[in-house]
Structure 1
Amino acid sequence: MNTQRTLLLSASRTGNSAYLAHALPMIEQLIDADCRKILFVPYAGVTINNREYSHMVQRALSPLGIEVQGIHEFDKPDQAVFDADAIFVGGGNTFRLLERLYALQLLEPIRIRVAEGMPYVGWSAGSNVAGPTICTTNDMPIIQPPSLTSLGLVPFQLNPHYTEWTQSDHNGETRLQRLTEYLALTPSQKVLAMPEGNALRIDGDKAQVIGDPKSFWITAGGIKTEIESYRPFDL
C-alpha cells in the first residue's frame, strides 16, 4: 500500500509574500499533529550557508510550532533521515542539491522513508528532485552530479517556476520551447509545469494540484493541457 504524503511547491514565495508564508496552510494540512521535528536539507542554497538557510526556514515555520534541524548538523545524515518525523528540501540550485544527495548517499534513505509515509515537502529545487530526473530544471549545471536521475517520487517530470512571460526584445527560447526540446528527445514523458503560487499534493496513489494559478501538463510537441485544481488524479 502506498502511504506517500508529499507536498511539492513551485516556489518558496508567491508575489511579494513572506518566505514560505503562502505554504503554511498547505504544510499544516499535510503533517500530523505529532510531527514536530523536521529534518531540513539546505544543500541547494549555494549563496547561503547551511546554518543560515536552516535558521531562515525555522523562522518561517515557527507559526506552526515546528522545530527545524539541518541535516548538515548530523554526523550520519542517512540515519537522520530514518529518524526524522518529516523531511523538507529547500530551493536553490538543483544540480548542487542532487550532487550532495549522491555524495552523502541520501537518495535511497529518502525514497524508503517517503514510501513508508514520512511527509516530504520540497520547493523549487526540492521539488525538481522529486521527479525521475532533473532534466527539466531551470538551473545552470554549476556542478556535475554522478547522474541526472533523482528521487522518482512521482513518475513525471516537474518544472517549478513555470512562466509564459516573454520580453519583446529578447531572442532566447521561452520556457515552453525549452520543455518541448526535452520532450522531443523523451516523447514518452510528460512535464508538470507549475507556475509560482501552486503546489502538487500527493496522498498515496492520488495527487492533486492545489493553489493558484493553474498548472499544465506539457507533452511531446509542446502540447499544453490545463489541469483542474483540487481534482485528484491517479499517479
Structure 2
Amino acid sequence: MWCSLRYVYLRFHLRCTLPSSLNNFHITVYKYYSIMKSHPQALLLSSSNCHGYSLLEFAKQEICSFLGKNNVTELVFVPYAQKNYDDYTKKIKNVITPWGFSVVGLHTYPDPADAINSAKAIFVGGGNTFLLLKTLYDNELVNLIRERVHTGNLVYIGSSAGTNVATKSIHTTNDMPIIYPPSFDAISIVPFNINPHYIDKVETDTHKGETRDQRIEEYMEMPHANPVLGLKEGCILHVDGDSLILKGVAGAVLFQVGDKKVEYPVGADVSFLLDCTKEAN
C-alpha cells in the first residue's frame, strides 16, 4: 500500500514540476514499479511427449487448470522451433481444442509483435532451441515477451525448446547448433537454466560416451554458469510469481556450482531458485 501511494505521489509530482522535456521520466518510474510488483505465470514442460501418454496428455490437467485460472480461452502458438509452421500448429491445435481452448499460430498474424501484445497466453513449442531463439530475436520478440510476462500481462507455456528459451540462457539445451542466434541469452522468465529431457545414466548401460551429467558439469565449470534444473520427462515447473513448484509425473535434478546434484520429487518447492544466491537445502 505504501509503495503504491509513494508511486502515485511521485508520478503526480513529476507531472506537475518537471519541464516537458523531462516529463517522460514518470514513464520510466512506472515501468520499474510494474516490474517490482510483477507476478509472472508460466508452465515449463520438459517435453510435449512422455512415455505412456499421448501428446501433452500427461500435462492436460495442469494446462487446463493454469489457463482456466488465468481466464484464457485462446492460445497463441509459437511454432518457430520447427520449419513447417502450419503442420506443427495443426498438431497442437488438434490436441488442445477439444480441451476447450482455441489455438492460433503466431505465424498467421501479419505482425508477430502486435499478436504478442494483444495475446493473453502463448504456448512456445519444442524443436530446435537455436532455431527458435534466432527466430524470436529476428522478430524482436525476446524482450517483448519478457516484459509482458513479468508485468503479468501474458501467461507462458513452454515445452522442451520452448522451456529452454524461457530461462536465463540456452547454454544447457540438448540440441545441435544448426543455426546461430545473435545471443544465447534468452527470455529469462526464471533466472537460472533448465535442461529438458534430463535422464540419468543407467548403470547397466553399455554406452561409454559422455553422460548428461558430464555435459552439465562442463557447463558448471564456466564463469557464466547458472544453476541448472534438469527436468525429467513428464516434469513440469509451475511458475506462479515468487513460487516454483514441480508438477507433472516426474521430478527434477538440480546442479549448482560446487555442489553435488540434488534430486527433487514431484510436488517439491524449488522457489529458492528465484534467488540464485541461495543454496539448496
Query: What's the offset of the Cα at 1:187?
Result: 6.9
Corresponding residue number in structure 1 for 2:77: 40
Query: What's the offset of the Cα at 1:228?
Result: 4.1
Query: What's the offset of the Cα at 1:188?
Result: 5.3
Structure 2 unmatched runs, 5+: 1-36, 275-281
Q: Which has the higher helix share?
A: 2
Residue correspondence of structure 1 range 31-110 to structure 2 within 5 A: 31-32=67-68, 34-46=71-83, 49-110=84-145
- For residues 152 and 74 of structure 1, the distance between their equivalents in structure 2, rounded to whole angstroms, comes to 25
Contact 2:219 2:225 survives alignment (8 Å): no
- For residues 259 and 134 of structure 2, the distance between their equivalents in structure 1, rounded to whole angstroms, comes to 30
Pick from 230, 251, 261: which aligns with 1:214? 251
**1:226 paired to 2:231:** no
Structure (1 or 2) with the larger CA radius of gyration: 2
Pick from 178, 189, 192: which aligns with 1:153? 189
Residues 102-145 of structure 1, C-alpha deviations (whole Å, 9 max, x = no match): 10001111112111322100000000011111000000000001
- Structure 1's 187 and 223: CA in aligned 2 closer, same or farther, altered over 3 A? farther
Structure 1 unmatched runs, 5+: none
- For residues 42 and 97 of structure 1, the distance between their equivalents in structure 2, rounded to whole angstroms, comes to 8
Contact 1:176 1:222 survives alignment (8 Å): no
- For residues 30 and 37 of structure 1, the distance between their equivalents in structure 2, rounded to whole angstroms, comes to 13
Pick from 216, 237, 241: which aligns with 1:200? 237
Query: TM-score, normalised to structure 2's length?
Result: 0.79
Letter in structure 1 aligned against 2:144: P
Q: Which has the higher strand share?
A: 1
Query: TM-score, normalised to structure 1's length?
Result: 0.94
Letter in structure 1 aligned against 2:104: Q
Pick from 214, 221, 237: which aligns with 1:177? 214
Letter in structure 2 aligned against 1:148: F
- Counterpart of 2:188 in 1: which secondary structure? coil
Corresponding residue number in structure 2 for 1:115: 150
- For residues 85 and 219 of structure 2, the distance between their equivalents in structure 1, rounded to whole angstroms, comes to 32
Corresponding residue number in structure 2 for 1:132: 168
Higher relative contact order (CA 8 A, sep 6+): 1
- For residues 18 and 188 of structure 1, the distance between their equivalents in structure 2, rounded to whole angstroms, comes to 35
Q: CA RMSD in A?
A: 1.6
Corresponding residue number in structure 1 for 2:57: 21
- Structure 1's 222 and 179: CA in aligned 2 closer, same or farther, altered over 3 A? farther
- Counterpart of 2:114 in 1: which secondary structure? helix
Query: What's the offset of the Cα at 1:202?
Result: 0.6
Letter in structure 1 aligned against 2:125: G
Structure 1's consecutive aligned runs of 4 or more residues displaced over 4 angstroms after TM superposition are: none
